[in-house]
Structure 1
Amino acid sequence: MKIEKGLYIKFGIYAIIVMGLFSCKDGKNTLEKDQLDSLQNSVENALGSNLQIPDSLKVYAPFLEYVSDSVKMSKSHCKIYTYVNASCPTCIEKIKMWDDFVDKAIQNNVPVFMIFHSDDNFELLKHLSESGLIEDFKFPFFLDTEGIYTKNNPFMKDNVHMETVLTDQSNKILLIGNPLYSSDIANSYYSEIQKRTKLLTVNAK
């Protein structure tokens, strides 16, 4: 029986995501078979589909300097999107954890879109940002004011670690998973970004 190359690739990505979920630092490594089956279906359906970006997202730029603005970010050959609960102090504190990864992404002209949802009208995020308690982030933030981002991308509701994705320029989903919590996922992100950056350079010649 002939198996298409794409199936091998998709299975490989799924395996990396599952390994990443089991290695995440939340102390919970018990996924039942039905949960794994559901996760696999979600991954298979999401990979290759287009991430749905609401027109209602609001740009929030509380810092003085940025590597890129929202228009240039949207035109990048690869993009990273991650979803953050702006009403959760612990979640907001984790923004700092992105610094090293963001620096490497910038080297390949890849922006990081931090999309925030909130139960407090983003008051906590704005207070921490404008008081200097959140250090300058190198890209503007994006506020999901209508709370529809995950509704438009329902696979993200299956697992919190699926709220981070890598896309191409047209927002086709290439990889799923949070690179901060898994070296396997991080390495997959780096590999895919570098591959596409090299291809872009070759095509530009």
Structure 2
Amino acid sequence: MRMRRSLNLFIHKSLIVLLFFCFSCMKKDENLNKINAIKLLAENTIGKKIFLPKKIIIYKPFGSYLKDSINISKSELKVYAYINASCSTCLNNIKLWDKFALEIKDYGVPVILILQSYDEFELFKYLCEKREIKKFPYPFFFDQENSFVKNNKFMIENETFRSVLTDKENNIIMVGNPFISEGMKKLYIKEIKRRRKL
């Protein structure tokens, strides 16, 4: 019971921080409905299972990795993020994910980047070959049929929801982009530490 209360408290704190940073620059009157809709979306997402594509291609353009795809799936905690690989601006986020992955690697938490593409991943592969995308500590996962966002529709509703923290069974613990604010990133790390008991 105490654990459930602390989890609910943590979820509400996370939502408050997320909503604050999403809407701090917007007009209050216009966005009250949006804030309520996003809060409801987040509350309805946490605790649900994330759906993974049945058909996925593992792409390993670099030599060695912290974990291979089999060990990644067995991890106690995982961070999933959706990236549009046809968008060069979106691909810049890989640098942020690389930095974050190295920050949490000591806790055994992999960052799983699920990429979707409208150009058969040609741009992404080219940038990897030219080393414009630097070495990433985990393999990339290509979703050729774009089923990841189709089956996890909350990721389309708001850009800040395109990443989640899950448990071993892929139940969603946290939803939100750790790069929207330093506060959100700290919440991710705090929850990871709490669950990994390090």
* Residue 148 of structure 1: aligned partner: 147
Unaligned runs of 5+ in 2: none
Task: Please tell me the residue identity of whatever aligns with 2:89.
Answer: T
* Residue 117 of structure 1: aligned partner: 116
Moved over 6 A (4+): none
CA contact (8 A) 1:117 1:143 kept: yes
Task: Please tell me the residue identity of whatever aligns with 1:79.
Answer: K
Alpha-carbon offset, residue 110 of structure 1: 0.5
CA contact (8 A) 2:67 2:138 kept: yes
Task: Please tell me the residue identity of whatever aligns with 1:81.
Answer: Y
Alpha-carbon offset, residue 51 of structure 1: 0.7
Q: CA RMSD in A?
A: 1.7
Alpha-carbon offset, residue 182 of structure 1: 1.1
* Residue 81 of structure 1: aligned partner: 80
* Residue 16 of structure 2: aligned partner: 15
Quick check: 1:188 aligned with 2:187? Answer: yes
SS of aligned partner of 2:92: helix
SS of aligned partner of 1:135: coil
CA contact (8 A) 1:19 1:184 kept: no
- Between the two proteins, the alignment pairs up a number of residues equal to 192
CA contact (8 A) 1:17 1:176 kept: no
Alpha-carbon offset, residue 7 of structure 1: 4.5
* Residue 177 of structure 2: aligned partner: 178
Q: Deviations over 1:145-168 (max 9, x none)?
A: 001111111111111110010011
Task: Please tell me the residue identity of whatever aligns with 1:11.
Answer: H
SS of aligned partner of 1:32: helix
Normalising by structure 1, we get a TM-score of 0.88
Task: Please tell me the residue identity of whatever aligns with 2:69.
Answer: S
Matches within 5 A, 1:8-157: 8-22=9-23, 29-30=26-27, 32-157=31-156
CA contact (8 A) 1:116 1:144 kept: yes
Instruction: Indicate the percent of aligned positions where both proteins have the same amino acid.
Output: 36
Task: Please tell me the residue identity of whatever aligns with 1:32.
Answer: N
Distance in structure 2 (CA, Å) of the matches to 1:29 and 1:88: 26
Alpha-carbon offset, residue 185 of structure 1: 1.1
Task: Please tell me the residue identity of whatever aligns with 1:43.
Answer: A
CA contact (8 A) 1:80 1:112 kept: yes
Alpha-carbon offset, residue 100 of structure 1: 2.4
Normalising by structure 2, we get a TM-score of 0.90
Alpha-carbon offset, residue 22 of structure 1: 3.6
Alpha-carbon offset, residue 10 of structure 1: 3.2
Structure 1 residues 8 and 196: CA distance shift in structure 2, 3 A:
closer
CA contact (8 A) 2:160 2:176 kept: yes
Task: Please tell me the residue identity of whatever aligns with 1:39.
Answer: I
